[in-house]
Amino acid sequence: MAFRHEPVLLHEVLAILQPRPGGLYVDGTVGGGGHAQAILEASAPDGRLIGIDQDDEALTASKERLTRYGGRVTTVKGNFRHIKEILWSLGVIEGVDGILLDVGLSSPQVDEAERGFSYRLDAPLDMRMDLSETLTARDIVNSWPEAELARVVRDYGEERWAGRIAKAIVKRRQRQAIETTGELAELVKEAIPAASRRHGPHPARRTFQALRIAVNDELGALEEGVKGALDVLRPGGRLAVIAFHSLEDRIVKRILAKEARSCICPPQAPVCTCGRRPRVRLIGRRPIVPGPEELARNPRARSAKLRGAERLAQE
């Protein structure tokens, strides 16, 4: 399958990053290269971009799409949680002018059955974004303790029936291993009371989300990645983060809000003694969401939330 991915909130991302000629930008989840191409066009003729992705297929697709920009583009296999180390390894010591983190699952990853992300396509349970990693969804489903399974499904999937689902998984695997997405999706469906699965999305959606997050440590990577991105931005540099569910958005919101605070003295203190200065300025107080035209064109963008911040100079 060709790696084609519709860039979400493209114009809004450009409005936050404000790419300019001569600038240096990082796309920490370069994917199919849609956002990256727009950043390169906006920063022509000499703006540069570093594209990072842990998915080999995404890197191949982005290299092909961005080949026309020649030496203005550098692509690197890696996880954006290591953004500081990646930039240092490339000799980027003085910081960058803008960073984009689009932390959603791309359409090709969902639609390619062999990757094991989809509850609608039967395939071996996998869900690894980086195929060089060893932990798979099959490992979690067939070996993790019931209590840990329940915690993952409850906390990462926000699934009210997590306990029932974990119990059903353990009962099934005692007879035989759960090998495919189809088996798991049907098992989850049967574990959820009929009245709770008559309406709304597929009953296995939350469980699959939870397993994907656990396999790839997505929330840990996001927290490290956002903090690392703020560390490598130059004064005046900007960060844009697109999240696709509430767990991700809450992490981004919390980190940016903390970095935008000044005084952290106790409320009862008569004068400020901490001397803290904010590291960033928030770009908007509320997240930016797709408009009707984009949703009509790309329904998968419906849960996207974009937040931005500008790095401030530290005196």
> pLDDT at position 263, please?
76
d(C-alpha 53, C-alpha 36), whole Å? 12
Q: Is 202 known to sit in a ligand binding site?
A: no
240 neighbors 101 (Cβ within 8 angstroms): yes
User: Which strands form 305-311's sheet, in the order they lie side by side?
Assistant: 73-77, 48-53, 24-27, 96-102, 233-243, 305-311, 280-288
> pLDDT at position 1, please?
44
> pLDDT at position 269, please?
77
> pLDDT at position 278, please?
93
Return the minimum-mean-pLDDT range out of 61-75, 115-129, 247-261: 115-129
Q: Is 37 known to sit in a ligand binding site?
A: no
Q: Which of 263, 307, 252 is nearest to 285 (CA)?
A: 307
> pLDDT at position 114, please?
64
Q: Which tops the pLDDT comparison, 114 or 234?
A: 234
> pLDDT at position 6, please?
79
d(C-alpha 236, C-alpha 280), whole Å? 9
Residue 153 in this model has a pLDDT that exceeds 70: yes
Mean pLDDT of the chain: 92
One-letter-per-residue 3-state SS of 74-119: EEEECCHHHHHHHHHHCCCCCCEEEEEEECCCCHHHHHCHHHCCCC
| pLDDT tens per residue, range 157-183 | 999 999 999 999 999 999 999 999 999
Q: Is 18 known to sit in a ligand binding site?
A: no
Q: pLDDT grade, residue 5 (50/70/90)?
A: low
Q: Is 33 known to sit in a ligand binding site?
A: yes
Q: In percent, how much of the chain has pLDDT > 70?
A: 95
Q: Is 53 known to sit in a ligand binding site?
A: yes
| pLDDT tens per residue, range 57-111 | 889 999 999 999 999 999 999 999 999 999 999 999 999 999 999 997 765 555 5
Tokens found for residue 25: 């930008």
Q: pLDDT grade, residue 281 (50/70/90)?
A: very high
Could you give all domains of the chain from N- to C-terminal order, each with its CATH number? Answer: 10-102+218-311 (3.40.50.150), 111-216 (1.10.150.170)
Q: In percent, how much of the chain has pLDDT > 90?
A: 78
d(C-alpha 234, C-alpha 94), whole Å? 7
